[in-house]
């Protein structure tokens, strides 16, 4: 006689409740494959080059 006990005790699922804030790359950095630090209003890359830092909405 083997009865498997199905003990389901509070499944603590690690649900990503907090949306991970991924630093969005601006257009300039994206086009140049640069590492955008997501600075506002201008990221460091754009700031350095005097480029208009544009963040395109996803
Ligand atoms: Zn950038
Ligand atoms: Zn930028």
Kindly report, residue by residue over 12-58, the tens digit of the pLDDT. 666 666 666 666 899 999 999 999 999 999 999 999 999 999 998 76
State the pTM of this model: 0.59
Q: The domain that contains 26 carries what CATH number?
A: 4.10.240.10
Ligand showing the shortest atom-to-Cα distance for residue 54 = 2
Does any domain span residue 14? no
What is the C-alpha to C-alpha distance for residues 9 and 58, in angstroms, rounded to an integer? 39
Ligand showing the shortest atom-to-Cα distance for residue 53 = 2
What is the tally of structural domains in the chain? 1
Q: How far, in Å, is the centroid of ligand 2 from the Cα of 38?
A: 7
Is the confidence at residue 5, as pLDDT, over 90?
Answer: no
Interior angle at CA 29, CA 41 and CA 18, nearest 5: 65
What is the C-alpha to C-alpha distance for residues 10 and 13, in angstroms, rounded to an integer? 9
pLDDT of residue 39: 93
* Higher pLDDT among residues 34 and 4, named by residue: 34
**Domain range enclosing 44:** 22-58
pLDDT of residue 57: 76
Q: How far, in Å, is the centroid of ligand 1 from the Cα of 17?
A: 27
pLDDT of residue 20: 64
Does any domain span residue 8? no
Q: How far, in Å, is the centroid of ligand 1 from the Cα of 15?
A: 30
């Amino acid at each position: 006689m083997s009865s498997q006990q199905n003990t389901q005790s509070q499944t603590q699922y690690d649900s990503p409740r907090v949306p991970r804030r991924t630093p969005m790359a601006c257009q300039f950095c994206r086009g140049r494959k640069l590492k955008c630090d997501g600075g506002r209003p201008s990221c460091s890359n754009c700031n350095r080059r005097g480029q208009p830092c544009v963040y395109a909405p996803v």
